[in-house]
Amino acid sequence: MSTDYYELLEVERNASGDEIKRAYRVVARKYHPDANPGDATAEARFKEISVAYEVLSDPSKREHYDRFGADGPRGGGGDPFAGFGGGGGLGDIFDAFFGGGGGGGGGRTGPASGPDLEVAVEIDFEGAVFGTTQEVSVRTAVPCEACEASGAKPGTHAARCDQCGGAGQVRQVRQSILGQMVTAVPCPVCRGAGEVIADPCDVCNGEGREVTDKTYTVDIPAGVDTGSTLRLSGFGAVGPRGGGRGDLYVQVRVRPHARFRREGDDLVHELHLPITQAALGAVIGFDTLDGAEDLVVSRGTQTGKVFRLRGRGVHHVRGRGRGDILVQVVVDTPTDLEPEVEEALRAMAAHRGDDVAPAEKGFLSRIKSAFS
């Protein structure tokens, strides 16, 4: 086994007591037998880490270790395993994980916080681009006004729980390959509150909370998209008997737009142009989400050409700036030609030397039937 306790806890030799405690929490959770069932190597590592913390968390043992090392004289530091067999050294380790307390001693954990809630909201496309506000309604738990969230009938009070001594949790000891292992669980009598109510409130039946419908106005930032989740801290359900509130998670859905589709923070529009505008060029009015702008179509524009309108797309949800609008051109070929239009096209084809089908009706049909 490694005898460098500082390396085991992954701290510097001049680390403070708080730094050692935080480091122990991290590495102990990583190698705890409950997190690595059947892994003998992890169990051995956990035992080493526990010994290292037992020594370095005690100023006198740490001083002795710094002077003599793990295998030095035992007179000043004592046995680092002392107390493990009988549970005497478990208190410090328990405190490192759970912050102190336990059956009959330590600080009270207090009532549990309420659960998180989730609600879905659907917004317009423009609201996702520019940001918007939206009302959401949820069924939630709120503090009981009759008993002021205490759970006790007005004029009475809750009493300290005899089972846990007001701690709200009790320790359970089990045997493992490493000896006794201690875990903390909510007190079964007071359900973690640390108090029991002999005369509960008639309105909330001792819960200290009521179920009702609440409506909140949510600020939806610019740049969100379908699948985005907004977290409203402290807007969830309240816990029993004065417990804290959970959070409210708002799932966003965005309605599609008639003209634009979204690709990341860019907006894409498919623009159909007649062959005349594509060939000769044009200046056309184009409606963006910010208003109308002039779009200059250059002469000889082909299908697939993309015009980019910078900074007219979606606001970046994180950071400044916006995406672009990408205008993808599709040149439409006319089908039902008026005689004068067809004549003009044939004159153009003759001028260019392009081979085209003759004007005789049914010519192409006969060609097709010959190859069928």
pLDDT digits (tens, 9 = 90+) for 180-189: 777 788 888 8
For the chain, the 3-state helix, strand and coil shares in percent, each to the nearest 5, are 25, 30, 45
Which residue, 212, 231, 254, sits at the end of a domain? Answer: 254
Check whether 9 has a pLDDT greater than 50. yes
Task: Find the CATH number of the domain harbouring 176.
Answer: 2.10.230.10
3-state secondary structure of 86: coil
Q: Look at residue 237 and tell me if it is in a domain.
A: yes
**Residue 325 DSSP symbol:** E
Confidence of residue 320 (pLDDT cuts 50, 70, 90): confident
Q: Give the mean model confidence (pLDDT) for residues 212-240.
A: 93
**What is the pLDDT at residue 305?**
97
Residue 40 and residue 10 share a domain: yes
Domain boundary among 236, 254, 272: 254
CA–CA gap between residue 315 and residue 323 (Å, rounded):
6
Facing residues of 273 across strands? Answer: 331
Say if residue 214 is in the same domain as residue 307.
no
Nearest to 169 by CA among 66, 99, 270: 99
- 81 pLDDT above the threshold of 50: no
Phi/psi at 263 (5° precision) = -130, 95
What is the structure's pLDDT at 225? 95
Confidence label for 26 from pLDDT (cuts 50, 70 and 90): confident
In a domain, 358, yes or no: yes
β-strand partners of 200: 152
Domain total in the chain: 4
CATH code where residue 316 lies: 2.60.260.20
**Cα gap 362→357, rounded to integer Å:** 10
Indicate the burial class of 106 (C-beta count within 10 angstroms; 0-12, 13-18, 19 or more): buried
DSSP structure class, residue 81? T
Judged by DSSP in three states, 329 sits in: strand
Same domain, 135 and 241: yes
For residues 266 and 308, membership in a common domain is answered with yes
Q: Which residue has the higher pLDDT, 72 or 44?
A: 44
Q: What is the mean pLDDT of residues 309-315?
A: 96
* Paired tokens of 343: 């004549």
Q: What mean pLDDT is predicted for residues 286-293?
A: 96
Q: Mind listing the pLDDT tens digit for each residue in 156-174?
A: 988 998 888 888 888 877 7
Instruction: Kindly tell me if the per-residue pLDDT of 313 is higher than 90.
Output: yes
Indicate if 226 and 177 belong to the same structural domain: yes
Residues 125-152 pLDDT 10s: 999 999 999 999 999 999 999 999 989 9
Give the confidence band of 3 by pLDDT, cuts at 50, 70, 90.
Answer: low
110 found inside a domain: no
Residues 249 and 283 in one domain: no
- Residue 106 is assigned to a structural domain of this protein: no
Q: What is the pLDDT of residue 110?
A: 60
Q: What pLDDT sits at residue 187?
A: 85
Burial of 268 (0-12, 13-18, 19+ CB in 10 A): middle
Average pLDDT over residues 198-225: 93
104 located within any domain: no
pLDDT at 364 over 90: no
294 forms beta bridges with 285
% of the chain beyond a pLDDT of 90: 44
**pLDDT-based confidence at residue 177 (cuts at 50, 70, 90):** low
3-class DSSP state of 50? helix
Its pTM stands at 0.60
Do 19 and 50 sit in the same domain of this protein?
yes
Cα distance between residue 336 and residue 256, in whole Å: 33
Predicted confidence (pLDDT) at residue 108 exceeds the cutoff of 50 = no
Same domain, 32 and 129: no
The verdict on residue 88 lying in a domain is: yes
pLDDT at 77 (0 to 100): 40
Cβ–Cβ < 8 Å for 281, 299 = yes
- Which helix (H) or strand (E) is 162 found in, with range? none
The more confident residue out of 356 and 86 is 356
> In this model, does residue 355 exceed pLDDT 80?
yes
Angle between helices 90-98 and 17-31 in degrees, nearest 10: 90
CATH number at residue 69: 1.10.287.110
Q: Report the alpha-carbon distance of residue 288 to residue 267 in Å, rounded.
A: 10
* pLDDT in the model for residue 67: 74
DSSP 245-276: B--EEEEEEEPPPSS-EEETTEEEEEEEEEHH
Domain of residue 144, residue span: 117-254
Consecutive H or E run containing 128: helix 125-130
The C-alpha atoms of residue 197 and residue 193 are separated, in whole angstroms, by: 10
Distance of CA 323 to the CA centre of its chain: 24
For position 176, what pLDDT does the model report?
A: 66
Looking at per-residue confidence, does 112 or 317 come out higher? 317
- 129, part of any domain: yes
pLDDT at 71: 59
- Per-residue pLDDT averaged across 201-217, rounded? 93
Q: Out of 90-94, 259-263, 327-331, pick the least confident.
A: 90-94
Are residues 74 and 139 both part of a single domain? Answer: no
Amino acid occupying residue 22: R
Residues 249 and 140 placed together within one structural domain of the fold:
yes
> Residue 151: inside a domain, yes or no?
yes
- Higher-scoring residue by pLDDT: 61, 270: 270
The overall average pLDDT reported for the chain is 83
Please report the pLDDT score of residue 371 as a whole number: 55
Report the DSSP pairing between strands 261-263 and 266-274: antiparallel
237: left (phi over 0), alpha (psi -120 to 50) or beta: beta
Domain check: are 69 and 93 in the same one? yes
| Burial status of residue 120 (CB atoms within 10 A of its CB: 0-12, 13-18, 19 or more) | exposed
- Take residue 101 and report the two structure tokens written for it: 């307390």
Residues 181 and 276 in one domain: no
Q: Residue 362 has what pLDDT?
A: 57
Domain boundary among 254, 277, 299: 254
The vertex-297 CA angle with 296 and 302, nearest 5°, equals 155
